Amino acid sequence: MNTVTRPRILVVGAGFAGVECVRRLERKLSPDEADVTLVTPFAYQLYLPLLPQVASGVLTPQSIAVSLRRSKRYRTRIIPGGAIGVDLKSKVCVIRTITDRILDEPYDYIVLAPGSITRTFDIPGLTDHAFGMKTLAEAAYIRDHVIAQLDLADASQDPAERASRLQFVVVGGGYAGTETAACLQRLTHAAVKRYPRLDPGLIKWHLIDIAPKLMPELGEKLGRSAQEILRRRGIEISLGVSIAKAGPEEVTFTDGRVIPTRTLIWTAGVVASPLIATLDAETVKGRLAVTAEMCLPGHDGVFALGDSAAVPDLAKGQEGAVCPPTAQHAMRQGRHVADNVIATLRGQAMRPYVHKDLGLVVDLGGRDAVSKPLGVELRGLPAQAVARGYHWSALRTNVAKTRVMTNWLLNAVAGDDFVRTGFQARKPAKLKDFEYTDAYLTPEQVRAHVAGTARLDR
Ligand SMILES: Cc1cc2nc3c(=O)[nH]c(=O)nc-3n(C[C@H](O)[C@H](O)[C@H](O)COP(=O)(O)OP(=O)(O)OC[C@H]3O[C@@H](n4cnc5c(N)ncnc54)[C@H](O)[C@@H]3O)c2cc1C
């Protein structure tokens, strides 16, 4: 017999938005007011903005993976798995656990915060041959892969193989791509000194973007400064250019150049999690269309936020403006949506989300950075201090703060290390292997499964 009468709140996704929401619900709701459940494939919240520093080895992977079980006060029930479909009518979320079991989880309130995945296009060879920069496994894997290229080039007698192993291509001139190219270029630049047989001149990093500018949010002058820093370091920047074709040993640019390379890192934007499409509801460029209160119109108790939702940006004051997919918004929306869920539970009025953007910080590794906090343009060490100070203070727990600070200090004193830990399997893993994009159901499959007319066993 089911004796549970408390409202069931189900939060999907333990990222910036989901974790902030859950922690606020735990703090503000008494245990007998509601049951809170979190669905997440991983046992940590990933601090994504520092991922390029994991790829370059400045930070260890564990230091940016903040445990979901750090405190005894955390009382949320955690289901280890991923939501693969939501039936809004029956109020059931279909979950595939990490052991591939299918669970139907009923809810009274659902908070959808599954974030985004790497946006890819129909470019021949792209998903088979590119890496993304969205998961901890990808960052650690890319580090191993890059160091392996130096090892293999060093061992090779074939000039063509050497040349292709020592060229690296990053697509995407947003902060993720720019920081990734900058941090990894520093790694190879420092590492090559330990390979006396390798000509450092053969190492070449390309950063390309179809847009005419890198990180347009930085503005004209600061954007130019970032480009100058990267060019000074030898990174070749090509704007107005994308990829026409990707292969295992070369990449063809849309301007006709063919670059011999075994490393293509694709960071050309993100798109909402495929979970959103299973709802069969209105979207804005793939993100779930929600109100300023982060509710799905026409469906009581359904909330969405973060990268997966198009939350109106009321601070901009422009018709149709939606909040950009940034951690800055996702964290604040998480806390705000928790307040709105609680208000609904208690029969109170919800409040719209309003937040004015605080600016942007871009860590280019070492002493190089550009930042624009509250519109003030900074370069060099002051920009780096702001960038690292911002990220450091945004880390959720003291243990994560200590780990990150210790890693930074250690790196400043002892420099980089170039250990390859051995992730390199015979068959290299690429973008499509890391983001599980083929796990989701269609809206029809969700309905048929919940109605009991279809089985989901693989
Ligand atoms: C390399 C990089 C650098 C960045 N730098 C910055 C920066 O400097 N400043 C900034 O503001 N933003 C930055 N961002 C963007 C920022 O990280 C995102 O906007 C932010 O993480 C969005 O938060 P979210 O909670 O919506 O999604 P996420 O933080 O991505 O969290 C989503 C969570 O949901 C989980 N999940 C996914 N699918 C499912 C499912 N089906 N079921 C259950 N769980 C699921 C994921 O595992 C993840 O834990 C960066 C992003 C990247 C990739």
Per DSSP, the residues of 73-93 read T---EEEEEEEEEEETTTTEE
Task: Please report the DSSP string for 27-69 in residue order.
Answer: HHS-TTT-EEEEEESSSEEE-GGGHHHHHTTSS-GGGGEEETT
The length of the chain, given as a count of residues:
458
Which residues are within 8 A (CB) of 115 and not within 5 positions of it... i.e. 6 or more apart? 13, 15, 17, 273, 306, 307, 308, 330
Rounded (5°) CA angle 103-64-285: 60
Predicted local confidence at residue 330, as pLDDT: 98
Is 74 within 8 Å of 27 (Cβ atoms)?
A: no
Query: Position 103: which residue type?
Result: L
Helix, strand or coil for residue 352? coil
Predicted local confidence at residue 416, as pLDDT: 86
Nearest C-alpha neighbor of 407 from the set 392, 396, 418: 392
Determine which residue's CA is closest to atom 3 belonging to ligand 1: 49
Q: 245: which strand partners? A: 252
pLDDT tens digits for range 5-29:
899 999 999 999 999 999 999 999 9
φ, ψ at 133 (rounded to 5°): -140, 65
The answer, yes or no, to whether any atom of ligand 1 lies below 6 A from the CB of 325, is: yes
The answer, yes or no, to whether any atom of ligand 1 lies below 6 A from the CB of 14, is: yes
Give distance in angstroms: CA of 116 to centre of ligand 1: 6
Predicted local confidence at residue 72, as pLDDT: 81
Predicted local confidence at residue 1, as pLDDT: 43
Q: Which two structure tokens, joined as six digits, stand for 348?
A: 């109170």
The answer, yes or no, to whether any atom of ligand 1 lies below 6 A from the CB of 174, is: no
Helix, strand or coil for residue 246? strand
Q: Tell me the angle at which helices 398-414 and 380-394 cross, rounded to the nearest 10 degrees.
A: 150
Nearest C-alpha neighbor of 172 from the set 315, 270, 60, 313: 270
For the chain, the distance separating the N- and C-terminal CA atoms, rounded to the nearest angstrom, is 31
Q: Could you tell which of 84, 326, 396, 446 is best to mutate to test the pocket of ligand 1, judged by most ligand atoms within 8 Å of the CB?
A: 326
Distance CA 418, CA 157 (A): 22
Distance CA 229, CA 219 (A): 16
Which residues are within 8 A (CB) of 110 and not within 5 positions of it... i.e. 6 or more apart? 9, 10, 11, 12, 86, 91, 93, 301, 302, 303
Q: At 406, which helix (H) or strand (E)?
A: helix 398-414
Determine which residue's CA is closest to atom 1 belonging to ligand 1: 176
Nearest C-alpha neighbor of 329 from the set 166, 132, 116: 116
Q: Within the chain, which residues score under 70 in pLDDT?
A: 1-4, 424-428, 457-458
Is 229 within 8 Å of 369 (Cβ atoms)?
A: no
Determine which residue's CA is closest to atom 31 belonging to ligand 1: 15
The answer, yes or no, to whether any atom of ligand 1 lies below 6 A from the CB of 276, is: no
CA 455 centroid distance within chain? 32
pLDDT tens digits for range 156-181:
999 999 999 999 999 999 999 999 99
CA 289 centroid distance within chain? 21
In 3-state terms, the chain is what percent helix, strand and coil (to 5)? 35, 25, 40
Predicted local confidence at residue 316, as pLDDT: 93
The answer, yes or no, to whether any atom of ligand 1 lies below 6 A from the CB of 81, is: no
φ, ψ at 322 (rounded to 5°): -120, 155
pTM: 0.94
| All domains in the chain, ordered by first residue | 8-118+271-356+435-450 (3.50.50.100), 126-268+359-424 (3.50.50.100)
Q: Tell me the angle at which helices 16-28 and 327-345 cross, rounded to the nearest 10 degrees.
A: 30
